A and B are shown apart, each in its own frame.
Chain A
């Protein structure tokens, strides 16, 4: 058997007027939530303020630290500046004097000492060779010598002396290429006259 009482639909319920008037003023009623909204707002505001304050404080700390470092450097600069200025002036004077001395050294050492060359050649001269003359120029040293002995042996002595000149370490300081320029027989003495050319090293030959 069907019930005479029919169920009300939701639409019917919402269209139904309340059974009594609602006199509640929601705006004036207290917040009945477990944790009030104001608490969250306040906590958020305080957290934000603290973060901004920390940021500001850290920046101020950095500024103060920079100023302290600047002051420390400034004190060091103030302390070191007068002696440094004096040292710079002294160094300029030192450079000036040193350049004069260097100029003299360059002047003196730019060319070989002729006396040293003569001594070096004299000390290393073989017994069967005699120097007739020498000529020193920018380009090199021309050495003219007579060789004692029969021509077939004398030419060998001349070659040996050439090898000896080339092996001479002192001469190698100044001359880079040593050549036998000519071999001629002296008709009066019958001896061979040889001419050596010692070419000056390029870096030494330039006049300074």
Chain B
């Protein structure tokens, strides 16, 4: 075991080497403890880079979003007046009577087949749907061009419509007209 005097003498004799040794140990310890920060900072950098790239991509993809949103919003604004409501029976049937008057056909039968209960059931089974189809059943009589006009006005008219079932038959065997069109049709509406 080295005594204090011997140690002091050793240090005095090898001043430079001891100083270098002490400095090396100090630097090694500092590097060891600060080495953890390297991994942590790398992890932070990776996270920031991912977030930064995501935000940059969002902005790049949103370059024309204002115009697109305006166009879609304008289109969506036109939808509302074209929808029917299940509880507005008189207005709904009036739509078909107007078509009858405009096309010169005759509605021999017309009824709304959907009601509040059926709409509620449909909404329950289709919770994500924004709209609900409102069913109607009707029979229209008229000459072939008039019936075709009725169909065209119905399918491309104010309300969104689609025929679920249809049948066209001629009333007289000699084909002298008139024709009868039976339709199960759905108009798009709101619950």
Contacts and interface: CB of A to CB of B under 8 A. Distances in A.
Interface of A: 38, 41-42, 44-46, 48-49, 52-53, 55-56, 59-60, 62-63, 66-67, 69-70, 73-74, 76-77, 80-81, 83-84, 87-88, 90-91, 93-94, 97-101, 103-104, 107-108, 110-111, 113-115, 118-119, 130, 132-138, 188-189, 207
Given A59-B38, A100-B76, A188-B173, A107 B162 contact: yes
Contacts, number: 182
Secondary structure call for the B interface:
helix
Given A104-B160, A133-B168, A42 B17 contact: yes
Interface stretch (B29-37, B88-96, B104-112, B113-121): B29-37
A24 B75 CA distance: 112
A46 B16 contact: yes
B79 A100 contact: yes
Given A90-B62, A104-B188, A59 B31 contact: yes
B49 interface: yes
A173 B75 CA distance: 28
Contact of B69 (A83, A94, A130, A132): A94
Interface string B143-182: 0000010011001000011111111111001010000000
A103 B131 contact: yes
Given A53-B27, A59-B34, A136 B166 contact: yes
Contacts of A70: 41, 44-45, 48
Given A115-B152, A115-B155, A90 B56 contact: no
Contacts of A52: 23-24, 27-28, 31
